[in-house]
Structures are given as C-alpha cells and as structure tokens.
Amino acid sequence: MSRKLIRGGRVIDPANGIDAIADVWIQDGRIDAITSVREESDADIDWRDTEIINASGKIVCPGFIDTHVSLREPGYEEDESTATGTAAALAGGFTTIAAQSDTCPVVDNRSAAEFIRLQAERARNCRVYPLGAVTKESKGEELAEIGQLVQGGAIGFSDAKSPVANSEVMRRALEYTRMFNRPILHFAMVPELSEGGVIHEGFQATRLGLRGIPAAAQDIMTGRDIALAELTGGRVHLMCVTTADSVERIRRAQAAGIAVTADVTPHHLLLTDEVMDSFDTMYKCNPPLRSAEHVQALIAGLKDGTLSAITADHQPLAFEKKQVELDIAPFGICGIETLLAVCVKALIEPGHLTWSELISRLTVGPAAVLGLKHGTLSTGQPADVTIIDPDEQWTVKASEFRSRSRNTPFDGKVFTGRVIMTLVDGEIRYQKGV
Amino acid sequence: MVLNNLPVSGPWGERHLLGLERLSAEQLTTVLDLAEHYDRATLGGTQRLDVLKGVVVANLFFENSTRTRTSFSLAARRLGADTVDFTASSSSLSKGETFIDTALTIEAMGVDMVVCRHRTPGAPHLLARHLKASVLNAGDGTHEHPTQGLLDIYTIRKARGRISGLTVALVGDIRHSRVARSNIHGLVKLGARVIVCGPATLIPSDITQMGVEIAYSLDDILPEVDCVNLLRVQFERQRGAFFPSIPEYANLFGMNGDRIRRGKSDLLVLAPGPINRGVELTPDVADGPHSLILNQVTNGLLVRMACLTLLTQERRRLQGGEA
C-alpha cells in the first residue's frame, strides 16, 4: 500500500472546475482525494507511510496529453527512440502521448502498432498509444488495415505530414473509421500548393526570395475535410492549424455540429515568419510560421475553444540534418520539452489565457480528441500528475534535452515557467535536476 | 596605393556583403564612388593595382555561372589578390558532404574571402555564421545578387550622373529574380522611382511593401521610364507554366525596336544577362544605341573590385589595423 500527498499546491483540474490551494492524495497509484490543506498535527490522518511532496507555490495539474508525437522508432533512431522521446515527454510534463505513424516502416499494420506499445512498455516512461496510418505506407492510395490496427491498440489514424489528398480515399477512411469510433488526425494541406515551399507565402517570402506555402493551401483542405466529415459522420481532427481562415471554418463547422476538432503548436503561437530572415533552419517547420494576423486568430481560436488542444508537434531531427541549406533541410522542431515554457510566454504572460484554460488545452482537450479518460484528477483515475513551478526563470539548453535531438529555435532563450515533476500512476517518473 | 589610405573613404563597416537590403544609401554610395575611382585608376579596369596583395579569394560556386565567376576572379587579380575556384554540384546531398563542411575545408586552406553562389536563399548567410572569412554573396537562389544590383546602379549613375529622381522599370520575372530584389533595395534607397513590370504570375503582389509600383503593361509605363532593366526569364527556376508561351511573353514584355521608338529618346536599356535574344529583347535593341549591356559587364568588374577592397579593409580593421 503506497500513499503520497502532494501538499499545498495550486491544484488546477479543469475537468472538475478546480483551481484552489489544496492537497492531492494518491493511493496505490490512483487519485484518492483532493482536500483542503491539512497539517501534520491533524490527528484524524494516519501520517505513517505517507510520502509527502511539498508543492507550495507550485501548480499541480493532470499530466499533459499530446495528440501526435513523432517518436521516430523504428527507422529513424538517429533522431529519437521510444525511450528518449517518452523521457522527453515526461520532462515536458506529458504523461500520455499518441505516437505518430511516420516511422519506417510506417505503422500501417497490427504488428507495427504492437511494436510501438512494446517499446513503450520497455521504456516505462509515459503512456503511449499508437496512431495507425490511414493509408498503406501513408501513400494516400489504399486504406491501411484499420480494423486490425485497432486490435493492435491504435487510438486513432493519421498519415502524419502526408495529406490524404484524394478526396475519395479520405471519404472512405472517414466512413470506415466511424465503425471503430476512432478519429482521423489529418494534416490539411493541398500538396500542389505547398510543394517546394519553405516559408509562409507573404511579404517575408517575397523579400527573402523563398518559395512560399500560401495559407490557402491549408484553408482549402480544411474546408474539404469539414465537408467530408459532414458527409460521412466521421470524426476528423485537424493537426497544426496555422491560419485565420482555417480557424474560422472550424469554428463554423463546430457550431453546425460537425465532428471536427483541431490543435495548434506553441511555436505557431509565439513566432511569426519575420524570424525567417535569419535563414535559420531551426525555424523551418510545416506548416510554416505564419504572419502576425494569423497568430492573433490562432490565439482567439484557442481562447474560445475552437482549437481544443495544443500539441508540441514534436519532430526530433538529428543534428546534421538541420546543418544544411534552408531549402533541403527537413521541416520540424523538437518541442515537447519546451512546450510549457513557450505557451507561458505566448499565452499566459500577455494575458490571453488563464492557467486553467491553458491546462485544459493540454489535458481534457486532447483527451477528448483521442477518446481517453485521462487528463483529470478525478477520484479513482490513475494518478498522472504534473507539477509546475510557474515562476521559475530558466534558460533552454538544448544540450540538456532528454530527447536525442536538439533542433530547437529556443536554445539559449530565457523563459518563465517549468515542469519540475511528472508522475505516472502515482510514481515519480521525472524530477527536475534528478 | 595602400589599402588603409584609399582616396575614397565613405562609411562602410561591413564584414560580409550578403545583400543590398541591409546597406544604407551612404554605404551604397561608398561602393559606387570607389568603383568610379577604380574606373579612372585602372583605365576602365585594364590596369593592375596591388591593393589586395596577399589576399586569397575563393570562388565557391555551387551553381553554374561563367560570367560572374570570371568577373570576380578578374576583379580580385586586378587588385593583386590570389584566387582559387571551387565549383561544386549544386546540392550538398548529392555530394555526401554538407555545404558548411565544404566551405570550412576551403577556409582551412587559408582563405580570406569567400565569394559564394548557391541556389538556396540564405546559403551565404549560413556561411557567414560559420566562417571566419568574409563572405560575398554572388547570388543566392531567388534572394539577392548584390554585386549585380550595384553594377546595374553604377551603370545607370555613370550614364546619367545620378540615381535620385530617375524612373527605373524592372521588367520580367520578378518573382524568381535575385537581380530584381537587389536592384529594388539599392535603387529605392538612392531615391529612384522603381516600377516592376511583368506577367501577374511572376510578380508577387506584396512586393509593393518594398517601395515599388507594379505595372502589367510595359507599353503603358514606357513613356515615363528613364531606364528599363530586362530581367532574364528564369526558365530553370520556374515550376510549371507561369505564362502561356514565349511568343506571348515577347509580345507583351519583350523590348523591340517599336517600343524603343515609343520610349524616351534617351532611354537606357540594361539586361543582366545572359540574355535570351528574341525573348526579353530583340537583337536590334541588344546591339543598338540605347543598350548598355556590354558596359554592364565592364562595370561589374569595377564594382566587384570596390566590394573586395571594402571587405578587406573592414577585415583588417577588425583584425587590428594592419598596414
């Protein structure tokens, strides 16, 4: 029988409407109770065998959930492995992640999904649910063995950064996945419009002579996906929304009762395409960093819940892959360990979101997308808990990442707010500095 | 003549020359004045000086270019510098060695200055971050080509004595043109009115934020223009069709004898080359009295001599004032 007490923190549990200084009691790996702060002089409590974690001045909240994380194993172990990626997730405060299907080979069959789960069990870090590919080899042509992937543990379906460009294939996929009540996580992008692009199409692209990816490339596909979700009754989740018009389309679709959800990354909330005049490949991501008016619309969408989840869109890439010219460098930011800090800078410090709203987009929001019960501190739930020091000023040191990769544009930058402890099943799996 | 005692000394202070965007009007004028000095001092670039004696300039070309590389080599040698040429395949992926590793290798051979041409915008900026040598951008993809911009501007200034108040039309494929961008930055700062003219598919509409006007009809603007700079149609940079056919392009935007007659009597015709005769301009225009195309080539040498000198001067200043 093990008992833990996380004592005296500011407990924020958006699912239960809690935001108060309180004690969180954990019994045998599950949340036992949230009570007012108790003193050791309180005689009605049996203090023996109670491990006390002092959380005074800290935020105590449900462990974060990421809807799509690229773990790169098997096939790209030079970038990341399940063990390093999940360790990085814990350091970022994540206790549950959905593993993206873009491994080599692609997770388009049952055994591939089971391998992901096996490696996650071996790593024993955070919870990992595989995403299965929508189409075989993510080529967008034929449906993957979706039913068997479900049997192998697939929690949803995604072809990662390869859009399912063929509308007929996407239509069948949405109809077919409906049988299993699993979402399709789609990267909405019209390939003909984005091909060869490296930066948002706009003044910066013109100025720098870089090929642009127009906002319309995302808007058009977002509109198509919404129409197909309406047609089929399937559930579509749009990954990495970056444009004002896409936000507005999703908002209207949700109001009309269509089953569409969406997420956004912290870097698209903090940065604009103006940073690209450094020609620094660390800023190269897909979709590209947009201009300020899009950022404003994303923040508004996050505030009103149109965008219900924040994802790191974790894309670890080995050092040498980014040490090349901008047009041949791969897209992606290794972001799961800096997600909270970047969100604080982009959302909390300017006063756009409250802590409770931010945590909701990192817990109940993504949990609903994936159909999970995690993301709350409700009694009886597994004790997946993240403890944050909201006041800690710290400098990002990519060299200290738990991720195998270092491709971050935030190296050396100073942030406020840091995850200091992460518990899974009531067990401390990450502790800052340990 | 010693380097720290040049007859022309305006503001400079740049370790690298990556683009004209970051240069001020005063810095631009410094280059143009020094080029003009070299014009006289070398009798139009034909005499040798030893201003850059002992300096090693590496031409690092990742994209084919005979004329720019030759011009840089000649400019360096006219000033007494040693040059090494390094031509590589355009993609570092195909070589198995990264672009930066290649550049570091060259630098390790004792190079003071790297003249870089690359098909990727920002490639010279990447080098500038990694090398101790001065980096001179000789064209980075569709971004900038500062010495071409400078030589075009020098050519106009030499013909007219000024830039301020002139109207210059850049005609053609603006979208894919590094020459256009460098010209725009330089001309606008020096007070010219700049019109970009070409097919709508090849003019990004937000280019107006760079201080230029957009025109889709060459015939409409011709009467107002003092100089037309006919940009080469960049067939190799275009993906897909941006205009229906070459005859249609020539019909709408090609410079021919008829258009010359409708322009100002002293209209200047520039073309950065290599020119596609019959596309951007007809042979009678290319070889006619309005054409400054060959002057541009000569002036390119002078402007590059000026740039190499200023960069070396700054480099020595930073190293602690060597005579």
Reported as a pLDDT band with limits 50, 70 and 90, residue B93 is very low
Calculate mean pLDDT across residues B145-153.
Answer: 98
Q: Which residues of B touch A326 (CB under 8 A)?
A: 120-123, 126
Q: What is the pLDDT of residue B88?
A: 73
Pairwise CA distance, residues A76 & A69, whole Å: 14
Pairwise CA distance, residues A127 & A97, whole Å: 6
Pairwise CA distance, residues A309 & A165, whole Å: 24
Q: Which residue of A has its CA nearest to B204?
A: A206
| Nearest C-alpha neighbor of A309 from the set A261, A344, A345, A377 | A261
Query: Pick the catalytic residue: A23, A219, A263, A313?
Result: A313
The sign of the CA dihedral B268, B272, B274, B280 is negative
Residue A202 tokens read as 């706009």
| Nearest C-alpha neighbor of B140 from the set B104, B170, B168, B99 | B99
Pairwise CA distance, residues B180 & B203, whole Å: 11
Where are the extended beta strands (E) located within A260-355? Answer: 260-264, 309-310
Q: What is the pLDDT of residue B5?
A: 59
- Is the Cβ pair A328, B91 closer than 8 Å? yes
Q: Which residues of B touch A209 (CB under 8 A)?
A: 121, 140-144, 178, 181
pLDDT tens-digit series, residues A372-406: 999 999 999 999 999 999 999 999 999 999 999 99
Query: Does the pLDDT at position B68 exceed 80?
Result: yes
- Nearest by CB to A206, from B122, B140, B204: name it: B204
Residue identified by tokens 């300096």 is B55
Return the axis-axis angle of helices B67-78 and B146-160, rounded to nearest 10°. Answer: 70
How is residue B171 annotated by DSSP? E
Calculate mean pLDDT across residues A62-81.
Answer: 98
Of the candidate ranges A284-298, A349-363, B121-135, the one whose mean pLDDT is the lowest: B121-135
- Is the Cβ pair A209, B181 closer than 8 Å? yes
Reported as a pLDDT band with limits 50, 70 and 90, residue B91 is very low
CB A150 within 8 A of CB A113: no
User: Does A394 lie at the interface with B, CB-CB under 8 angstroms?
Assistant: no
Q: Report chain A's mean pLDDT, rounded to a whole number.
A: 97
CA atoms within 13 A on the CB side of B262: 11
| Nearest C-alpha neighbor of A315 from the set A69, A112, A136 | A69
Whether residue A313 lies in the annotated active site? yes
Task: Let me know the angle formed at the C-alpha of A172 by A252 and A69, rounded to the nearest 5 degrees.
Answer: 70
A242 Cβ contact partners less than 8 Å away, ≥ 6 residues apart: A215, A218, A264, A268, A287, A288, A290, A294, A298
- Nearest by CB to A209, from B91, B178, B209: name it: B178
Residue B139 tokens read as 């064209």
Query: Does the pLDDT at position B176 exceed 70?
Result: yes
How far from each other are the two terminal CA atoms of chain B, in whole angstroms? 11
Q: What is the pLDDT of residue B105?
A: 86
Reported as a pLDDT band with limits 50, 70 and 90, residue B101 is confident
Domains of chain A: 3-60+381-431 (2.30.40.10), 63-370 (3.20.20.140)
Q: What is the pLDDT of residue B323?
A: 42
* Burial B286-303, CB ≥16 within 10 A → b, else e: beeebbbbebbbbbbbbb
pLDDT tens-digit series, residues A325-342: 899 999 999 999 999 999
ipTM computed for the complex: 0.89
Q: Which residues of A touch B98 (CB under 8 A)?
A: 320, 323-324
How far apart are the CA of B262 and the nearest CA of chain A, in angstroms? 32
Q: What is the pLDDT of residue B63?
A: 85
Residue A387 tokens read as 């403890």
Residue A53 tokens read as 């974690």
Q: Which residues of A touch B204 (CB under 8 A)?
A: 205-206
Whether residue B158 lies in the annotated active site? no
Q: What is the pLDDT of residue A45?
A: 79
How far apart are the CA of B189 and the nearest CA of chain A, in angstroms? 15
Q: What is the pLDDT of residue A221?
A: 98
In this structure, the number of other CB atoms found within 10 A of the CB of residue B265 comes to 7
How far from each other are the two terminal CA atoms of chain A, in whole angstroms? 25
- Is the Cβ pair A209, B98 closer than 8 Å? no
Q: What is the pLDDT of residue B94?
A: 52
Q: Which residues of B touch A323 (CB under 8 A)?
A: 98, 100
Task: Let me know the angle formed at the C-alpha of A289 by A283 and A294, rounded to the nearest 5 degrees.
Answer: 160
Query: Pick the catalytic residue: B95, B237, B264, B277?
Result: B95
Its pTM stands at 0.92
Reported as a pLDDT band with limits 50, 70 and 90, residue A54 is very high
Q: Report chain B's mean pLDDT, rounded to a whole number.
A: 90
Q: Which residues of A touch B141 (CB under 8 A)?
A: 209-210, 327
| Nearest C-alpha neighbor of B65 from the set B198, B199, B225, B178 | B178
Query: Does the pLDDT at position A82 exceed 50?
Result: yes
B-proximal residues of A, 271-290, CB under 8 Å: 278-279
A-proximal residues of B, 39-78, CB under 8 Å: none
- Is the Cβ pair B121, A208 closer than 8 Å? yes
Query: Does the pLDDT at position B281 exceed 70?
Result: yes
Query: Does the pLDDT at position B123 exceed 50?
Result: yes
Q: What is the pLDDT of residue B102?
A: 83
Q: What is the pLDDT of residue B241?
A: 81
Domains of chain B: 3-145+300-318 (3.40.50.1370), 147-297 (3.40.50.1370)
How is residue A179 annotated by DSSP? T
pLDDT tens-digit series, residues B232-269: 887 766 556 888 888 899 999 999 999 999 999 999 99
Calculate mean pLDDT across residues A191-198.
Answer: 96
Higher pLDDT, A57 or B318: A57
CB B65 within 8 A of CB B138: yes
Whether residue B16 lies in the annotated active site? no
Cα dihedral A90, A91, A97, A99 in deg (nearest 10): -110
- Is the Cβ pair B120, A325 closer than 8 Å? yes
pLDDT tens-digit series, residues A169-184: 999 999 999 999 999 9
Q: What is the pLDDT of residue B4?
A: 53
B268 Cβ contact partners less than 8 Å away, ≥ 6 residues apart: B155, B156, B159, B160, B226, B227, B228, B290, B292
| Nearest C-alpha neighbor of A412 from the set A427, A402, A399 | A399
pLDDT tens-digit series, residues A260-280: 999 999 999 999 999 999 999
CB A11 within 8 A of CB A34: yes
Give the DSSP H/E element, type plus range, for residue A120: helix A110-123
Q: What is the pLDDT of residue B238?
A: 58
Q: What distance lies between CA B26 and its chain's CA centroid?
A: 18
- Is the Cβ pair B93, A209 closer than 8 Å? no
- Nearest by CB to A328, from B93, B143, B204: name it: B93
Q: What is the pLDDT of residue B298?
A: 94
How is residue A346 annotated by DSSP? I
Q: What is the pLDDT of residue B127?
A: 92
Query: Pick the catalytic residue: B68, B120, B282, B309?
Result: B68
CB A303 within 8 A of CB A351: no
CB A119 within 8 A of CB A83: yes
Exposed/middle/buried for residue B49 (C-beta within 10 Å: 0-12, 13-18, 19+): middle
CB A407 within 8 A of CB A421: no
Residue B124 tokens read as 């010279």
